[in-house]
Amino acid sequence: MKRDRKVKIVATLGPASNDYDMIRKLHEAGADVFRLNMSHGSHEEIAERHKIIRQVEKDLDSPIAILADLQGPKLRVGTFGDGPQDLQEGASFRLDLDKTPGDINRVCLPHKEIFAALEPGAHLLVNDGKIRLKVDNCGADFANCTVITGGVISDRKGVNVPDVVLPLAALSEKDRKDLEFVAELGVDWMALSFVQRPKDVWEARELINGRAAVLSKIEKPAAVTNFDEILDASDGIMVARGDLGVELPVQNVPPIQKRLVRKCRAAAKPVIVATQMLESMIESPMPTRAEVSDVSNAIYEGTDAIMLSAESAAGDYPVEAVTTMNNVAIEVESDPTYTDVIEASRKAERHSVADGIVAAAREIAETTEIKAICCFTSSGTTASLVARERPRVPIIAMTNRRSTARVMALTWGCYCVVTGDLERFKQAVVNAARAARASGIASEGDQIVVTAGVPFNVPGTTNILRVAPCDERLIYSTDPE
């Protein structure tokens, strides 16, 4: 399904969007990728949503990416014997491994790994940062703290530890079971939570074993510190601003977002900006002006995708939320300032023949009357390199693998078309012209740029470029030479 924008939209599925009619409406409204949140829903429910997505994809003949988001380890306090407790600023409070119900003075924190990593002066954040504790002294099974920011604490509230790298694997036992289930089910992207270092990504890659592309969620300070190595190990990135804004001062998040997006662009790897983008639309058919500006800023930065969470999963207006994102994207991308910002932030990467080919394709397209850049890609590498250039014209990514077309549905500007196997470059040119005409991107008398790697189906061999007409004679040619 051809869009009138280049940024992609990720929509999370949930109770408000779990049947065929709604999922189809969301895709038609603009959702290019559907996120399955493994924190919610049974395997049976996840499998049913997966089945519906694939049916919508078949009915509309439109490649759709499915992103399975693993929960990651959840750090939570225990329970309280007399209900919620109001911790006062300056009071003492103890965390320990004792499973006895807590009170105003202490509570169980059933994670010995946290105590192993804590040092005096470290901070612990409870209930999304609403309560802040500072460690005074600690041992292998306790931490005596002072309440820096008070508030009400209750059963099983989440705990964040921003100051240390925790000796915890990014994959819990639940995550391992979920990973194997969705990998066998057939998802296109696997999102990893709680990533702190590159070895977390490599561990997951080994388990996934090529069955899905790997996307690392950046939500901890350690992940920001180790970002370059994590990016190298990943196929894509999600800037998960929710936890990131809890563990870091909120004013740090916008510049971090900008830096990470630019690094992903330079590496030709897709990046999603996520969390609270249209939060008010969970209950309102209209977003706030600030939310629209937030979405717009992410698009101006050149992010590959913007994401809806509860807005589409559990909100009252899921279709309206996707439609709003779609309309904002179209408006921003039609602004001349958008082109200026994107081109000013383009970082030249010229290390290979493929880099030179895609750069030349963009320059030709932008200095002549070219309607599209058509690239043939087996693994998706060529299309990703073209997308890194952020050309002004559409990118038609053609592949003989439906799995590649689905993965590329997350990449900026790529209109994905599944084609047959190719043996000669002339066939590639003919198929590209047909796709450009069929999509309405080009018409009789227009020209396109075609790139490919010869021999075909060998990743990383982009080595040829041609400017071709979209005339009837070429399109209906049967000469393979």
- What are the start and end residues of each CATH 2.40.33.10 domain in the chain? 85-160
CATH superfamily of 85-160: PK beta-barrel domain-like (2.40.33.10)
Kind plus residue range of the DSSP H or E element containing 151: strand 151-153
Residues of the chain with CATH 3.40.1380.20: 353-475
- Whether residue 108 contacts residue 159, with contact meaning beta carbons closer than 8 Å, is answered with no
Q: Edge to edge, what strands does the sheet with 92-96 contain?
A: 106-108, 92-96, 142-149, 131-139, 123-126, 159-160
- Residue tagged 């084609």 (tokens): 419
Q: In the structure encoding, which two tokens stand for residue 348, read together?
A: 């030249």
- Residue 8: CB partners within 8 Å, gap ≥ 6? 32, 33, 304, 305, 306, 409, 410, 411, 412
Could you tell me if 389 and 359 are in contact, meaning their C-beta atoms sit under 8 angstroms apart? yes
* Residues with a known catalytic role: 35, 76, 217, 275
DSSP letters along 374-443, please? EEE-SSSHHHHHHHHT--SS-EEEEES-HHHHHHHTTSTTEEEEE----SSHHHHHHHHHHHHHHTTS--
* CATH match of 8-72+170-334 with 3.20.20.60: yes
> For the chain, where do the domains classified as CATH 3.20.20.60 start and end?
8-72+170-334
Residue 440, C-beta contacts closer than 8 angstroms, at least 6 positions apart: 2
One digit per residue, the tens of pLDDT, for the chain of length 481 reads: 789 999 999 999 999 999 999 999 999 999 999 999 999 989 999 999 999 999 999 999 999 999 999 999 989 999 999 999 999 999 999 999 999 999 999 999 999 999 999 999 999 999 989 999 999 999 999 999 999 999 999 999 999 999 888 888 889 999 999 999 999 999 999 999 999 999 999 999 999 999 999 999 999 999 999 999 999 999 999 999 988 999 999 999 999 999 999 999 999 999 999 999 999 999 999 999 999 999 999 999 999 999 999 999 999 999 999 999 999 999 999 999 999 999 998 876 667 888 899 999 999 998 998 999 999 988 898 899 999 999 999 999 999 999 999 999 999 999 999 988 877 888 888 899 999 999 999 998 899 999 987 777 666 678 889 999 988 666 665 554 4
Largest CA distance in the chain: 83
**Is the pTM for the entire model greater than 0.95?**
no
Long-range (24+ apart) CB contacts under 8 A made by 131-137 are 131/87, 131/157, 133/93, 133/95, 136/92
Please give the DSSP secondary-structure letter assigned to residue 274: E
Say whether domain 353-475 belongs to CATH 3.40.1380.20: yes
Rounded to an integer, what is the distance from CA 223 to the centroid of its chain?
A: 15
- Copy the structure tokens of residue 407: 């993965």
Written as one letter, the residue type at 17 is S
